[in-house]
Each structure stands twice: as structure tokens, then as C-alpha cells.
Amino acid sequence: MLFLMKLLQSTHQQVFSPSFFYRFIPNDRSQKPGALQKGGTLQAAAIEELPTTTASNFYTGQKFGIVWKDVHPEKPNLDAQEKGCIRFSRLEGAYFAGGVFWFDDTSAGEAKKGRVYRYFPATNTLELFYESSDANHLEAPDNICITPWGDLWIAEDGAGSDRIIGVTPEGETYVFAENKLNGSELAGPTFSTDGQTPFVNIQDPGMTFAIWGPFSRRNAGRQRLMGHAVPPKHFAPQISDKLAAFAESQGISPLEAAAFHRHGVIL
């Protein structure tokens, strides 16, 4: 089993350097207490193993795939940069469900409003699920989770309205919660093991709320469906006809093509 994680490096002045998408492969995969203390290998995600160190140097017409490069555990940020791994802006929330690893980049995108990605470990496929261009739709995505009935919940990172945005596999969106009390961000939405009670925090003054439904019943099939759903039209990344044609010719999805394009790959 692979233990996926992402690290955010920053200075004490809160000036953020690039983030990278990491995974840790333990030597002992028994999942027993103490297994992680036996060490392992830290790796960072990259787009194809080429001798170049920047994505802008990748050549047109290449079929791309996510690969993992070993990085030094004591200097992962520097090592990942030197090895040409994928640079993200400011990685935040992450969640795994239905064979899909979701994560978001809080300040990324042309409008700097944030992006949501999904990564498929089985195929090493990285897709850009959503890039926000309007703060009314989503601003600064942070903690995320998949509900027991299969919706995606995205908490905002204190940039403005401080909401939890829901997305259904059918492409509908809704506001589940909004903090209008003190302007502090909502954080860490998660569910009880029986799927009946969601918990959410208000960062300042440090409060945790348990919310009782009724909610939809647990649906594992619908959870998997969310991982392969086409984004709502106003969530889906906008791509040119040329990029769409390239995706078709290479046998990749428009979302994959959008993800590569956003990271500087010349298509």
C-alpha cells in the first residue's frame, strides 16, 4: 500500500515557495503500529522522466504520464525542484475515496482563486477537475472530503465568504454551510464512521460542530461515480479547440490535457 501525502513549504513570513505532490512508500507495509518507524522512500510526482528540469521544455506531441522520483527526505522541496517535479502553487486539502485521490491548490489558476485536482493511483493519471475564475463559485479551496453518499465537499480557506461547497456526481453544486458569524474559515469537514454525522471546525476561536441530518444513506457506488464524473460546466476547465483536438489524438481526457497545459507543458 502506498501512503500518499503532500507537503507545503513556506517561510516564517508566510511567503510560499512551490509545493510538490509527494508519496511515502514504507519498507514495512503491514500497516501495523510502528511500521512507519521502519523507514521508507519519499517520492515526488513528475510528468515523464526527461533530462529537462522545467515543464516548459517538454516537446509537442509527447504522450505524458505521471512518474515518481525519489527525493531526499531532509530536503524534499529543493530536491524536487532540481529533479523537475511538478510545481504547484500552494497545496492544501487532500482526501482518498473510491480509488481516487483528491487534492487542491489554494491560490493557483489564472485568477488565483484555486484549483481542484484528482489523481488515479491505478493509472498514474492526474486531472484538473476544476479551476475557479469567480470567487462567487469558489475561492481558495482548502480541506475537502467525499461524503458517504458520494458528493464532494470543498471548504474555503478564509479568503472571503468561508463556505463549504458541495458538488454532486450529476454536476449540481450547492452551498452546504457558510460562516457569517466572525469571518473565520471553516475547516476539516469529516464524517463519523457510521456516516450519519459530519463534523466541521471554525478556526477562530477554535470550535468544532457536530451536525445532524437527516442525510442521504451511505452509497459506495456513488462515491466511485464522483471520481469519474465530468465536472459541472461552470467548474470544468475551459480549453481551446486545439487542446481538445490534442487530447483526442493522444487518447487522454480533456481534463488530463488541461492539467498538463496548466503546468506549462507545450501541447
Spatial distance between the Cα atoms of 46 and 127, rounded to a whole number of angstroms: 13
- Tens digit of pLDDT at every position of the chain (267 positions): 344 444 444 333 344 578 899 999 999 999 899 998 999 999 999 886 444 433 333 333 344 578 899 999 999 999 998 988 888 888 988 999 888 999 998 888 777 888 888 898 888 888 888 887 777 777 788 899 999 999 999 998 866 668 898 988 888 888 898 887 777 788 899 999 888 899 998 888 888 999 987 888 888 888 888 988 888 877 788 888 888 888 888 888 888 888 888 877 766
**Cis geometry, peptide bond prior to residue 214 (ω within 30 degrees of 0):** yes
Residue 100: closest CA among 78, 122, 129: 122
**Alpha helices, DSSP H, located in the chain:** 76-82, 220-228, 241-250, 254-262
Q: Within 10 A of 204 (CB to CB), how many other CB atoms are there?
A: 11
Task: Please give the model's pTM, rounded to 2 decimal places.
Answer: 0.80
Give the pairing type, strands 3-7 and 20-26. Answer: antiparallel
The sign of the dihedral angle between the CA atoms of 259, 265, 266, 267 is negative
Please give the grid coordinates belonging to residue 165.
461547497
170 Rama sector, left if φ>0, alpha if ψ -120 to 50, beta otherwise: alpha
Spatial distance between the Cα atoms of 145 and 164, rounded to a whole number of angstroms: 10
What domains are defined for the chain? 1-87 (no CATH), 88-236 (2.120.10.30)
**HSE value, Cβ hemisphere, 13 Å, CA-based, for 11:** 4
Residue 204: closest CA among 174, 226, 182: 182
